[in-house]
Chains A and B, each alone.
Chain A
Amino acid sequence: MDCREARPLVPGYLDGELSEAQAAPLRKHLLACPGCRSITQAGKTIASWFVDEGPVEIPAGFAARVARRALAGDTGERWAAPLEADGDLGLRGFVLQLTAVAAALVIALSIGFRTMSLPRTDDLRADDFSLESALEALDEMNREPLGEPSTSKADESPELTEADEEGRRE
């Protein structure tokens, strides 16, 4: 084991986290290497600053008091937001809920109207417009003499015909 392999293992060694298979070669290296030994010593020095403070003082009747509160339904969530703490929404909560419901309704309606105005799949189908019908329409156009207006559209549209007649009378 060389220094590059040894040094990352030192903290785990000091914390007792290495397996014997890892610790044995490290111990051997530390005996031979003053540099790594010094780093290991420095690691031990830090631990000497974390001394035990001694027994802690517990207020009299603490456990009984906590047990009573727990049984009374205190969940200890005193740092939670008031709305979550007691489940009572109050006027502000009611208004917020109402606003949320109204907003959801408006969004749903707008999506619904938008969907209705969109062309349906059937409207976009091109099946009715066959090549045959297109050719027939072309033939008919060819049969009509040039210069004569077509009357076919006017025949199909009574309103247009009446308007035309009125125009003529005038």
Chain B
Amino acid sequence: MEQAPELDASLVREVLAGNQASFQLLVERYQARLFGLTRHYTRNAVEIEDIVQDTFLKAYSRLPSFQHQSSFYTWLYRIATNTILDFLKRKGRSPIHAVEDPEAATLEAPGQGIVRPDARLEREEIVEITHEVLRELPEIFRTVLIMREFEDLAYQEIADTLGISIGTVESRLFRARARFKQKLIQMYPDFAQA
């Protein structure tokens, strides 16, 4: 998630000093990543734009409180994640909560395995299936899977963003992957390993 922190820090200082054009530069630097992140949670283009816009507006209004303790993008990413989750909650689209203890990771081999996506599937089809399965997972599992598998965040970055320990990230990811496989097989039995 490292994104030329020196340049970011310099742009942030310029914005705080009153250089308004620097804020537009910050938006241009990170808009693609935030649009990409947000589309993992909703496929509606208008909603994606609203969420990303609100994320940047919040960042601007909170910029004086940015302490440079993390990179600007880590800070921005945290605002984006909270904005997305708030949005989904208010839309009533995040009703699935884990019934079991999400941190109670078992170390046994998970149940039935899954196969790799069929070579005949188009990329768009794989994306659609994966998101369909993700939508069925409890929010905490979906969030860590998106952060790790799509966004390629390190455990420490996930921990910092969500305010949890690395041990919790590990156990939550373990559980999330097991649930993803289980749900994929349930929804698409053809992808179960023979």
Q: Which residues of A contact B (CB under 8 A)?
A: 4, 7-8, 11-12, 15, 17, 35, 39, 42-43, 45-59, 62-67, 69-71, 74-79
A11 adjacent to B107 (CB under 8 Å):
no
Q: Tell me which residues across on chain B come within 8 A of A67, comparing CB atoms.
A: 20-21, 23-24, 27
Q: Tell me which residues across on chain A come within 8 A of B177, comparing CB atoms.
A: 11, 43, 46
Stretch at the interface among B4-12, B56-64, B70-78: B56-64
B173 adjacent to A49 (CB under 8 Å):
no
A66 adjacent to B56 (CB under 8 Å):
yes
B contacts with A: majority SS: helix
Instruction: Report, as a range, how many residues of chain B touch the other chain.
Output: 35 or more
B116 adjacent to A58 (CB under 8 Å):
no
Question: What are the 8 A-B residue pairs with the smallest beta carbon separation, nearest first?
Answer: A76-B57, A50-B149, A76-B54, A70-B60, A67-B24, A63-B27, A75-B61, A76-B58
A39's nearest neighbour on chain B, judged by CB, is B109
Min C-beta distance of B186 to chain A, whole Å: 15
A46 adjacent to B24 (CB under 8 Å):
no
The reply on B120 being an interface residue by CB < 8 A is no
Contact A11/B173 with A56-B36, A66-B27, A70-B61 known, Cβ cut-off 8 Å? yes
Pull 20 A–B residue pairs with CB atoms less than 8 Å apart, ordered by A: A7-B109, A42-B113, A46-B114, A47-B149, A49-B116, A49-B117, A49-B130, A51-B117, A51-B126, A51-B127, A52-B150, A53-B39, A57-B45, A58-B31, A62-B27, A67-B23, A71-B20, A74-B57, A76-B53, A79-B86
A12 is contacted by which of B90, B113, B170, B184 (Cβ under 8 Å)? B170
Q: Which residues of B contact A (CB under 8 A)?
A: 20-21, 23-24, 27-28, 31-32, 35-36, 39, 45, 49-50, 52-58, 60-61, 83, 86-87, 90, 107, 109-110, 113-117, 123, 126-127, 129-130, 145, 148-150, 154-155, 170, 173-174, 177, 180-181, 184
A69 is contacted by which of B35, B53, B145, B149 (Cβ under 8 Å)? B53
Cα–Cα distance between A55 and B35 once the two chains are bound (Å): 10
B154's nearest neighbour on chain A, judged by CB, is A17
A45 adjacent to B154 (CB under 8 Å):
no
Min C-beta distance of A55 to chain B, whole Å: 8
B173 adjacent to A59 (CB under 8 Å):
no
A64 adjacent to B24 (CB under 8 Å):
yes
A45 adjacent to B115 (CB under 8 Å):
yes
Cα–Cα distance between A69 and B57 once the two chains are bound (Å): 8
Among B21, B27, B55, B180, chain A packs the most CB atoms within 10 A around the CB of B27
A62 adjacent to B31 (CB under 8 Å):
yes
Among A52, A67, A69, chain B packs the most CB atoms within 10 A around the CB of A67
Contact A63/B31 with A42-B110, A49-B126, A70-B23 known, Cβ cut-off 8 Å? yes
Q: Tell me which residues across on chain A come within 8 A of B57, comparing CB atoms.
A: 66, 69-70, 74-76
A51 adjacent to B115 (CB under 8 Å):
no
B33's nearest neighbour on chain A, judged by CB, is A56
Cα–Cα distance between A25 and B29 once the two chains are bound (Å): 41
Min C-beta distance of A102 to chain B, whole Å: 34
A46's nearest neighbour on chain B, judged by CB, is B177
A77 adjacent to B58 (CB under 8 Å):
yes
A45 is contacted by which of B23, B114, B127 (Cβ under 8 Å)? B114
B151's nearest neighbour on chain A, judged by CB, is A50
Cα–Cα distance between A76 and B27 once the two chains are bound (Å): 14
B56 adjacent to A70 (CB under 8 Å):
yes
A78 adjacent to B127 (CB under 8 Å):
no
